[in-house]
Amino acid sequence: MLLQSQEARLRNALAGVEIASRQYDNAQARLLQQAGLMKDALTAVGSMTSQLAAGAMSALHVSTSMSGSASASGSTSNSYALSETRQLD
């Protein structure tokens, strides 16, 4: 009798684990499906945005320019003095 009750408890525990595992698998499948849909939606939005931007730029005839300048200067000054004094006797 004791062995049968332990076996029944083990079967119940195993059934609970199987149910939890199936629920986890279902949740994971839903999340993967949602992630795929979000990826597709973001790809479509990016494509539309780039097409709109290209159309707007061509309509406005956008131009760019770049200019720059650089200069460098330097100077060096050296001064030497030598002084000698002698006394004649």
Amino acid at 51: Q
What is the structure's pLDDT at 52? 85
Domain locations in the chain as residue ranges: 25-60
**Residue 85 pLDDT > 70, yes or no?**
no
The residue behind tokens 């939005």 is 45
What is the structure's pLDDT at 1? 77
What is the structure's pLDDT at 23? 92
Q: What percent of the chain has pLDDT over 70?
A: 65
Separation between Cα atoms, residue 54 and residue 60, nearest integer Å:
10
Nearest to 27 by CA among 15, 37, 35, 16: 35
CA 82 to centroid of chain Cα atoms: 68
Residues 59-80 pLDDT 10s:
766 556 666 666 666 666 666 6
